[in-house]
A and B are shown apart, each in its own frame.
Chain A
Amino acid sequence: MTAIRPVEGTGSRLVRQARYHLPAVVVFFGVLIVWEITVASLNLRQFILPKPSVIATALNAEWSIIGKAAGNTLFEALGGLVIGVSAGVATAFAVSRWGRVREAILPIAIGASAVPIIAAAPIMSIWFGILNPFAKMAIVILLVFFPILVNVVRGLTQVDASALELMRASAASDGQILRKLRIPNALPFFFTGLKVSTTLSLIGAVVAEYFGGSSEVLGRVIVQSSSRLRFDITWAAIVVAAVTGIVLYLVAMAAERAIIPWHASQRRAEP
């Protein structure tokens, strides 16, 4: 179901995309400039709000530490994301297969999405060991599992009644109904859950790190630099965390665009 896009006209598409993104780019750099000028002219103290140029300098100087920390944090986030999403999808298939199980589990899953799971981070550290990256992954798994479960179950079960009748009138087997109707119907729901989960995974990993563990992770860099009042490093680590989160989200979005170009939410991208 992959969309194959024509190669010709790539140039004009690039131009169109550039034009589309231009306002956001202008606003982004505008904010940076205003920030720089405001901090300088108001003579704000470094620990209140460092200038963007100071943050950039800190990022450059401390890159060996921040870069390594970002890699470790990304590993926890991605590992948790992959395991949590897989488990969520697998459970969704099992749950939507049996109506009774669904009725029992879905309210709990929806409730669990509202629980501040991040608060369980110290417990995970005790269960899996404070230095074990899996303790952080476990938090990420718990965070992403429920939104994926709830969304995929909805996608698999909220199928147009007429479409089901059409399949029945064609004497389709349950397996055919699953493959040809329920799964394609669930894909947009899955991507909604996945996009939420990419953001959650990084938040989960960074915040879980606040509670202790290896010091070569973004969460510890943020905690330790701020306790030493080196807020320029804190800000630099936050910027790296933010960029990592945005990149994860963009990857999920690109996958969505490639896999479900037919869906209403994607049609703006059509020529």
Chain B
Amino acid sequence: MPQPVVAISSVSKTFATASGVGTTALDRISLDIQEGEFVSLIGPSGCGKSTLLRVIGDLTAPSDGTIEVNGKPARQARMDRDYGIVFQAPVLFDWRSVEANVALPLEIKGMSRTQREQRVGEMLDLVELRDFARHYPYQLSGGMQQRVSIARALALEPRILLMDEPFGALDEMTRERMNSEVQRIWERTGTTIVFVTHSIPEAVFLSTRVAVMSPRPGRIVEVIDIDLPRPRNEDTRESKRYFELITDVREKLRGGHNSADGSGAGSAIPSAGRTLAEGSVG
């Protein structure tokens, strides 16, 4: 086994509360993520999946345990600009055009203008927004704004891309298109991606592995390998294996969420139609 890109070992995170008793958001989580993997963290609201992502990105410190990214502490990885990050909101700067938004991390790094222009052009080609380079964020649709934020996150060729429910605010049709887009970008760039979502179909469609989390305290219940063939497309969304995996994830989620009513759930395999209709939690 080669050295993992992300090595999470028994990480806990406790938040102080007003009463003085801490809330445990993450409880001794361990997970290794290999180079080029696409790992989804899925779980109901409040299971700590976003917190785990932020701990990986050194946006919040763990209370206990260690995170290593490319063999160094998360803080060093952040200072080395090993991360790209995409939030649920596009977080574009209103005062910058599309191209200037994409150029932001390059400016911060201190790249020369000519280098910046070339890199921004490549990134806008990647997300197919070259024609909109001089537009301002408010002139774009939600999906287009999120593509700009993906281009910005990838501009510095990060070793690892952190995505925090990036398509949670988009409608279902746009979300499916964006999923195909992310898959294409992932295949072209080979970037390791950690993806937080509460949509089961989205996690199954995109991932190499899905880490199912349970709430209070946040634990990883199970890591499910997604062995769907690539490239994944509309046929994948209608394949038998796809539905089996969705069902598998759902049952693990239900088991982790509430063991009392989860005991009987394992035997009742829902029909494909029902699975899709209930394909989201949280």
Q: Footprint of B on A, CB under 8 Å?
A: 1, 160, 162-163, 165-172, 176, 180-181, 184, 187, 260, 262-264, 267
Contacts and interface: CB of A to CB of B under 8 A. Distances in A.
Contacts of B79: 171
A120 B80 CA distance: 56
Contact of B59 (A168, A184, A263, A264): A168
A166 B87 contact: yes
Given A180-B104, A180-B107, A169 B78 contact: yes
A260 B89 CA distance: 22
B83 interface: yes
A169 B83 contact: yes
Interface of B: 54, 57, 59, 78-81, 83-85, 87, 89, 91, 93-95, 104-105, 107-109, 136, 138, 156, 162
A264 B138 contact: yes
A171 B81 contact: yes
A171 B85 CA distance: 12
B89 A169 contact: no
B91 A169 contact: no
Nearest to B77: A171
Contacts of B80: 171
B91 A181 contact: no
Nearest to A181: B93
A165 B59 contact: yes
Among A163, A168, A171, A184, residue most surrounded by chain B Cβ atoms (within 10 Å): A171
A181 B94 CA distance: 10
A172 B108 contact: yes
B108 A176 contact: yes
A165 B53 CA distance: 13
Contacts of A165: 54, 59, 85, 87
25 contacts: A162-B89, A162-B91, A163-B91, A165-B54, A165-B59, A166-B91, A169-B59, A169-B78, A169-B83, A169-B84, A170-B104, A170-B109, A170-B156, A171-B81, A171-B108, A176-B108, A180-B93, A180-B108, A181-B93, A184-B95, A187-B95, A260-B95, A262-B94, A263-B94, A264-B94
A169 B136 contact: no
